[in-house]
Amino acid sequence: MEAFIVSLTSIAIAEMGDRTQLLALVLVARFRKPWPIVAGALCATLANHGVAGLLGAWFGKQLTPAMLDAAVGVSMLAMALWTLKPDTLDQPAGASRAAGAFVATLIAFFLAEIGDKTQIATVALAAAYPNLLAVIGGTTCGMMLANTPVIFLGNAFADRLPLKAVHYAAAALFAVVGVIFIVRAVRSYQ
């Protein structure tokens, strides 16, 4: 249960103001069909975080527990710093109207998540926790918890979020998790 809760809260908070939220706004403005956009985001997130989780689980098996804790701790501290840098949407959604809201969202969300902080956090969490399904479930639920309201409420919701405060809260959460793992690593060497 810890893996699920840590994964869900870390990703839900870190996702606030992320480029995938900006992408969700672009998609909902373009297609005006929230349900296919939600379905596309869910499928893309499951696929992306599934791959990230498998990669993280593999890394977790290659490292000693102390090395793994240290690596996860350092990566979480890096995530904390990265979270303080707000994302921008570098390019508009590339899929055409003919592809439909679901396919456009599926492709755009999957590509937007490659190398994103939430994907890297999923790798680290999957390496840290033995319950891969709990991690993938938690990170996926966190993504959907952050993005679904944006999809349904559009610009009105995004305009009301105190994004700077959310970024600081996410950075603090990643930093706390990072420190916990580093302390575990240091204790195992003593």
Does the pTM of the predicted model rise above 0.85?
Answer: no
Question: Which residues span the domain enclosing 70?
Answer: 2-189
How large a percentage of the chain has pLDDT more than 90? 38
Three-class HEC string of the chain: CHHHHHHHHHHHHHCCCCHHHHHHHHHHHHHCCHHHHHHHHHHHHHHHHHHHHHHHHHHHHHCCHHHHHHHHHHHHHHHHHHHCCCCCCCCCCCCCHHHHHHHHHHHHHHHHHCCCHHHHHHHHHHHHCCCHHHHHHHHHHHHHHHHHHHHHHHHHHHHHCCHHHHHHHHHHHHHHHHHHHHHHHHHHHC
How large a percentage of the chain has pLDDT more than 70? 85
Alpha carbon distance 108, 101 (integer Å): 10
pLDDT digits over 29-53, tens only? 778 788 999 999 999 999 999 999 9
Over range 150-169, report the average pLDDT: 70
Is-contact 41 24, C-beta < 8 A?
yes
Task: For residue 29, count CB atoms less than 10 angstroms from its CB and return exposed for 0-12, middle for 13-18, buried for 19 or more.
Answer: exposed
pLDDT value of residue 68: 76
Domain total of the chain: 1
pLDDT value of residue 86: 60
Would you state the structure tokens that stand for residue 45, as one six-digit string?
């997130």
| Tokens 């804790």, located at residue | 69
pLDDT digits over 72-127, tens only? 788 778 877 876 776 555 444 444 443 588 998 998 888 888 878 888 899 999 99
Over range 143-153, report the average pLDDT: 92
pLDDT value of residue 92: 46
What mean pLDDT, rounded, does the chain reach? 83
